Chain A
């Protein structure tokens, strides 16, 4: 999605020009574009009256913000404690191998998938858990992870 003036305006309109709304406004930007585009950051900061440097300080501090565009499907693998003791690390590595992500987290070359780690999705009873887009998948194994990827590749 391109950063149009219009789509930003609808976000900014909801907030009175007050620094206290910085995080909320950035959350809306993140939800809309799935990352924080530079132009959007400048617009948000101008509107709320905070220096852009403060905007970036906030955006880099909180995990919820991404500074790069994301893939079509977002896979968040839980590496929380409950998932960890049930073998989440091996499941994560399986995703990483199959998607050929070079770093710890990242996006595939074809922009089809973004793989990221999260700490607890609040579904610990189904550990190990991963969330793909809006769906939560529990009781994962390496094999199940492989099957899921195949399904999503076709979507």
Chain B
């Protein structure tokens, strides 16, 4: 269907709505990467097969990820005039049970997660109540989304359509108000007004530095040169962050619409999305959405008959962290190794092929249609003084409820970990969060009332980064974490400048000495001053921020470093050279589980009698510790 006018949009919207909320039952399976990894494909196939065989009068569809990754596979039932019902951990067996009830017109009670009474597509016309009258029986008592701790404080703006639409169906997107913001921008606003709105809204880049988006757009608009390029950074290099992947897989058109609006504002007719090749599903989803938008006339020549033309190409990244950096990313699109260059000439003036280029992150782009549709003032109301809007975090690591969380800026670390995350596993204690990835830092428990926004994180020695938030408990060693990030960064440094290439290596050597019990107090000082030198002397922000994990752990966890240096002990029992495994003779009941697992044959003993561990043979692999159900394997 070609869309040229507002009437066309309305027609598309009607069609889409009839598909989103059909007058027959619909089964929706979450099929983003996290769902698929948990087995969603089998569940989807099962429902489809059943529906076909039994000539069921209903629809089976796929959707993206709503964020509850730890409950995957997730399945929704959308029944006419009923709340939307979400079921968790739906394995094929569970699906079979659910099917027999739902196809018989019953409402299953097992594996129930939550009900959704009101669907708020945000962009369009406001909330929509999904049923009339009063709920009865099981449904009346069933928890609502907003009753769940995981959900209470969340506000899905960038993720507005994730888990609601089929990402491959452009009509679904339009039905929830999509591309209306583009229409508004093209037909009612001058480019300068669009930039003004984004500036006043206070949108800051979600990809790393938090640079004001409106300011960047304005300089690119002013820059001399033609053509100008609009780029989307979907390289997502932070190991532990996957919100960009999820947005692409769940709602690709939001990103395309954001880029279209940006292109109009800046005066560009060509765009690129630079996406990690390691995200095959995201790549396919983007390809399909670009084709669909082209077919609808929403990408290409003369969009909405306004004379504005814009098209988007896809470029696959080769798996290098440094390629997320703006100048390296542009080199990579040009087909070269992704080496950064000094930025005394800004990329908004001379970027891709030396032309004015504007690069924004996936999540930044997804926020743009919101600002245009709802207005800058609406957007400004959300968040804190210096950080407006919401941010998606991947809450992962040692926390119970792992998943993607979108909250207004300014929420405290404590609420994030304890309320939304459900705390660290029992028997463990919360120690720190790591935020900002390899360029970020660790924030300790003492600071857990800290509001999470760009500026407070910066003051605390971390950065927002892309929003990877890794929860650590007392089984995480901070020296080991610092080493981990340095390993990553040494690997990923492009090697072009010396402080980064050699400084990081030397820092790594010092940490190695700590973790093997050979460090001295003088080394601690050297580490500190080296870190500062690398920070100041590196060419690009990879090197410039590489010392952050070291500096922040030194700042907040110095005693732990000192334990390694002065007492030759690793309090978290991680650094192999400093720990020994032993078997507690009182707790061991002689089950032989560890005997079978030990690759070294270091554990001996008869059945039902306490076992012995020969420390001389032990390689400290931890296999015994993992299998012992009686906590008899001790590590000190």
Cα A63 to Cα B468 with chains together (Å): 22
In the complex, the chain B residue whose C-beta lies closest to that of A127 is B396
Bound Cα distance from A58 to B37, whole angstroms? 31
Q: Which of chain A's residues has its CB closest to B471's CB?
A: A85
With A85-B397, A85-B476 already in contact, the answer to whether A23 and B316 are too (CB < 8 A) is yes
Q: A23-B335, A142-B597 are in contact. Are A118 and B402 (CB under 8 A)?
A: no
B277: chain A residues within 8 A (beta carbon): 27, 64
Report the minimal beta-carbon distance from B171 to chain A, rounded to whole angstroms.
Answer: 27
Task: Tell me, rounded to whole Å, the shortest Cβ–Cβ distance linking A7 to chain B.
Answer: 20
Kindly list chain B residues whose C-beta atoms are within 8 Å of the C-beta of A84.
481, 484
Q: How many chain B residues touch A (Cβ–Cβ < 8 Å)?
A: 58
Whether the Cβ atoms of B318 and A61 lie closer than 8 Å is yes
CB under 8 Å from chain A, chain B span 262-319: 277-279, 315-319
Q: Provide the bound-state CA to CA distance between A143 and B336, in Å.
A: 43
Whether A23 contacts B239 in the complex (CB less than 8 A), given A61-B337, A82-B396, A136-B37, comes out as no
Give CA–CA (A145, B240) in the complex, Å: 21
Specify which chain A residues have a CB less than 8 angstroms from the CB of B484 in the assembled complex: 81, 84
Interface check B320, CB cutoff 8 A: yes
A86-117: CB near B (< 8 Å → 1, else 0) gives 11001001100100000000000000000000
- Contact A81:B402 (CB < 8 A) given known A64-B277, A118-B278, A125-B72: no
Residue B621 interfacial (CB < 8 Å): yes
Residues of A within 8 A of B402 (CB): 82, 124-125, 127
A122 part of interface (Cβ distance < 8 Å)? yes
What mask results when residues 136 to 147 of chain A are scored 1 for a CB within 8 Å of chain B, else 0?
101001110000
Residue of B242, B338, B623 touching A120 (CB-CB under 8 A) = B242
A69 within 8 A of B: no
A138 and B37 in contact (CB under 8 A), knowing A61-B338, A81-B484? yes
In the bound complex, how far is the Cα of B64 from the Cα of A122, in angstroms? 14
- Contact: A122 with B70, CB < 8 Å? no
Whether B597 and A143, one on each chain, are in contact in the complex, defined by CB atoms closer than 8 angstroms, is: yes
Q: Are A58 and B320 in contact (CB under 8 A)?
A: no
Q: Residues of B contacting A64 with CB < 8 Å?
A: 277-278, 318-319
What total of A-B pairs shows CB separation below 8 Å? 150
Please indicate which of the listed interface residues A21, A80, A87, A118 has the most CB atoms of chain B within 10 Å of its own CB. Answer: A80
B599 to chain A, nearest CB (A): 6
A23 CA to B238 CA, complexed, in Å: 22
B334 in the interface (beta carbon within 8 A): yes
B residues less than 8 Å from A86 (CB atoms): 397-398
Total contacting residues, chain A, CB less than 8 A: 45
Please tell me if B583 contacts chain A, counting CB pairs below 8 Å.
no
Give the residue of B33, B597, B622 whose beta carbon is less than 8 angstroms from that of A87: B622
Q: Chain B 216-253, CB within 8 Å of chain A: the 1/0 string?
A: 00000000000000000000101111100110000000
**Interface membership of B437, Cβ < 8 A:** yes
A33 located at the interface, meaning its Cβ lies under 8 Å from any Cβ of chain B in the complex? no
Name the one of B236, B316, B471, B627 contacting A143, with C-beta atoms under 8 angstroms: B627
What A residues does B242 contact at CB under 8 A?
120, 122-124
**B470 at interface, CB cutoff 8 A:** yes
Given contacts A20-B335, A84-B484, contact A61 B72 (CB under 8 A): no
List residues of B (359-400) whose CB comes within 8 Å of A's CBs.
394, 396-398
B599 contacts A97, CB within 8 Å?
A: yes
- Known: A61-B337, A125-B403. Is A85-B472 also a contact (CB below 8 A)? yes
Which residues of A are found within 8 Å of B72, using beta-carbon distances?
A: 125
Please tell me which one of the listed residues A27, A54, A61, A123 contacts residue B33 in the complex, with CB atoms under 8 A apart.
Answer: A123
Per-residue B-contact encoding for A55-87, CB less than 8 Å = 1, 0 else: 001100111110000000000001111101111
- Contact present for B334 and A142 (CB under 8 Å): no
CA distance A27 to B380 in the complex (A): 43
How long is the Cα–Cα vector from A58 to B468 in the complex, in angstroms? Answer: 29
The answer to whether A62 touches B320 (Cβ under 8 A) is yes
Render B319-362 as a binary contact track against A, CB cut-off 8 A, 1 for contact: 11100000000001111111000000000000000000000000
Contact, CB under 8 Å: B622 / A142: yes
**Residues of B with C-beta under 8 A to A93:** 621
**Is B626 engaged at the interface, CB distance under 8 Å to the other chain?**
yes
A40 contacts chain B at the CB level, 8 A cutoff: no
Complexed CA–CA distance, A96 and B239 (Å): 22
**CB atoms of A90 and B622 under 8 A apart:** yes
Q: B residues 575-610 with Cβ under 8 Å of A?
A: 597, 599
Which residues of A lie under 8 Å from residue B599 when comparing CB positions?
94, 97
Whether B279 pairs with A122 at a CB distance below 8 angstroms is yes
CB B283 to nearest CB in A, in angstroms, measures: 10
Task: Flag if B239 contacts A80 (CB, 8 Å).
Answer: yes
Residue on A with the closest CB to B33? A122
A9–B72 Cα distance when bound, in Å, is: 42
Q: Is the CB of B34 within 8 A of A125?
A: yes
Among B316, B318, B394, B488, chain A packs the most CB atoms within 10 A around the CB of B318
The answer to whether the Cβ of A43 comes within 8 Å of any Cβ in the partner chain is no
Measured between beta carbons, the chain A residues less than 8 angstroms from B69 are 123-126
Q: How far is the CA of A87 from the CA of B597 in the complex (A)?
A: 17
**Bound CA span A24–B313, Å:** 12
The answer to whether the Cβ of A22 comes within 8 Å of any Cβ in the partner chain is yes
Interface residue B542 (Cβ < 8 Å from any Cβ of A): no
Residue numbers in A under 8 Å from B36 (CB-CB): 136
Q: Tell me the smallest distance from the CB of A120 to a CB of chain B, in Å.
A: 4
Residues of A within 8 A of B485 (CB): 81
Q: How far is the CA of A84 from the CA of B34 in the complex (A)?
A: 18
Interface membership of A119, Cβ < 8 A: yes
B623 touching A94 by the CB < 8 A rule? Answer: yes
B472 and A142 within 8 A (CB): no
Is B434 at the interface (CB under 8 A from chain A)? yes
Q: Return chain A residues, CB-CB under 8 Å to B527.
A: none
Cβ contacts B431-463/A at 8 Å (1 or 0 each): 000100100000000000000000000000000
Q: A120-B239, A122-B242 are in contact. Are A63 and B70 (CB under 8 A)?
A: no
Contact with B along A1-26 (1 / 0, CB 8 A): 00000000000000000011111100
Residues of chain B within 8 A of A52, CB atoms compared: none
On whether the beta carbons of A126 and B34 are closer than 8 Å, the reply is yes
Q: Is B38 in the interface zone, CB < 8 Å from A?
A: yes
Complex contact A123–B334 (CB within 8 A): no
Smallest distance from the beta carbon of A61 to chain B beta carbons, Å? 4
Q: Specify which chain A residues have a CB less than 8 angstroms from the CB of B470 in the assembled complex.
A: 81-82, 85
Q: Which residue of B lies closest to A138 (CB)?
A: B37
Let me know if A123 and B37 touch, CB within 8 A. yes
The smallest beta-carbon distance between A104 and chain B, in angstroms, is 11
CB distance from A106 to the nearest CB of B (A): 17
Q: What is the CB-to-nearest-CB distance from A73 to chain B, in angstroms, rounded to a whole number?
A: 17
The 8 A-B residue pairs with the shortest CB-CB distance, nearest first, are A62-B318, A80-B239, A125-B69, A81-B240, A120-B239, A136-B37, A63-B319, A82-B396
What are 13 of the A-B contact pairs (CB < 8 Å)?
A23-B318, A27-B316, A58-B337, A64-B318, A79-B239, A85-B398, A94-B599, A122-B242, A122-B245, A123-B37, A125-B396, A126-B38, A127-B396
Q: What is B's interface to A at a CB cutoff of 8 Å? A: 33-34, 36-38, 69-70, 72, 236, 238-242, 245-246, 277-279, 315-321, 332-338, 394, 396-398, 402-403, 434, 437, 468, 470-472, 476, 481, 484-485, 488, 494, 597, 599, 621-623, 626-627
